[in-house]
Structure 1
Amino acid sequence: MPKNHAHVQEFFTARAADWDTRFPDDGPAHAAAVGALGLRAGDAVLDAGCGTGRALPALRAAVGPGGTVLGVDLTPAMLDAAVRAGRDTSGVLLLADVARLPLRSRSLDAVFAAGLVSHLAQPEPDLAALARVVRPGGRLALFHPLGRAALAARHGRTVTDDDVRAEANLRPLLARSGWRLDAYTDEDDRFLALAARTR
């Protein structure tokens, strides 16, 4: 998987136009993961690495019309695809690096991140950058519509112990980055790690 900005942009630019058609059945899984965040009406939430914005409608529904929904992605083509799909009506889209978010510290209640963590060039400082913009006690959902083994199989690989998403690796990584891992699910049809911002 790509790890630096240029590779991430190249990888996703090449796939942006048909991303939604390649994975047409992921919508309910995104909505269920958003539901696990426990958002309330009026909350401010960030979709970090929002891609084509598939989670934005569910995030908007969760926080209501008085809430704030931001979608941030590094790849212009993915944000363009989100606009073409009409998902910009659910939130504000920003072209930005999650490691350098143009947001005030402690300004958000939660972060949703689908497929993001395995694409981070520097997982610890990047997750710490996300922690900076979340209030103490705020929530983080690291999600993928496939579990680690199923995703590896899709790419013709096997799961390895050095996978950043393995619980034994993710728990201390989150702790060093300002998060406490509260729940961890790794099943064939879902990967979901829920964490809380520590003080």
Structure 2
Amino acid sequence: MTDDQTHVQEFFGARAANWDAKFPDDGPAFALAVAEFGLRPGDRVLDAGCGTGRALPALRAAVGAAGTVLGADLTPEMLAAAAGAGRDADGTLLRADVARLPLRDGVLDAVFAAGLIAHLPDPAGNLRELARTVRPGGRLALFHPIGRAALAARHGRELSPQDLRAEPNLGPLLAGSGWRMVSYADEDARFLALAVRQD
């Protein structure tokens, strides 16, 4: 395990038990983001860095019983919290690193990633790995239940021009990683960037 993986596991492992209680009002924002994502019944979707699985019920509702929902996370405590909340009924939980997903090339229709990009040790390489698993024309959603400015204020920081989620940074990052950004919203109540897998 790399130092980055260990750091991520320690950070989220220590917070897993209280994660949902800390952010009790995020459910509607997740549901709205999934609704805007444009999933169809029968789609195969991965929640990358699923944490406690807060997106899984909305993803399941979008793809229906015929669809496939996977939730992958590196942190066992987060997956345990997801199962404890009953969200394993909405998708299959996998302990996996998004840097090396145990999935075949092009097997997915879409990847949903909430709060993930800030924790990627190799953003370009990790986004390429997500692209590998998605069919050409498939979709990616990078989501956070609050926008960049609100998140920075929550942590007592200023917005940084180096923030990967800033539109001038994110567009080229996605383009160099197998994706084409098709929409970008950074508002107080949410951050949502949608991209399409390039051929």
TM-score normalised by length of structure 1: 0.98
Q: Does 1:41 align with 2:34?
A: no
Residue 28 of structure 2 aligns to a residue whose secondary structure is: helix
Is 1:167 matched up with 2:167? yes
> Match for residue 105 of structure 2?
105
- Partner Cα separation in structure 1 for residue 24 and residue 82 of structure 2: 14
Aligned pairs for 1:76-115 (under 5 A) are: 76-115=76-115
Q: What SS does the aligned partner of 2:196 have?
A: strand
Q: Which runs of 5+ in 1 are unaligned?
A: none
Q: Stretches of 4+ moved more than 2 A in 1? A: none
| 2:189 paired residue number | 189
Q: What amino acid maps onto 1:81 in structure 2? A: A
TM-score (norm 2): 0.98
Q: Secondary structure at the match of 2:31?
A: helix
Question: How far off is 1:105 after superposition?
Answer: 0.4
Report the counterpart of residue 22 of structure 1 in structure 2.
Answer: 22
Q: Tell me the percent identity.
A: 71
Post-superposition offset of 1:93:
0.2
Counting matched residue pairs gives 197
CA positional deviation for 1:195: 0.2
Q: What amino acid does structure 1 have at the position aligned with 2:150?
A: A
Distance 1:24 1:143 in 2: 17
Provide structure 2 residue ranges, at least 5 long, that are not aligned to the other structure.
none
Q: Partners in 2 of 1:13 and 1:141 — Cα distance?
A: 24
CA distance in 2, matches of 1:37, 1:187: 17
Q: CA deviation at 1:4?
A: 1.3
Give SS of 2:54's match: coil
Amino acid at match of 2:16: A
Q: State the secondary structure of the residue aligned to 2:99.
A: helix
Cα distance in 2, alignment partners of residues 12 and 171 from structure 1: 28
After TM superposition, give the deviation of residue 99 of structure 1 in Å: 1.1
Q: What are the within-5 Å matches in structure 2 for residues 118-157 of structure 1? A: 118-157=118-157
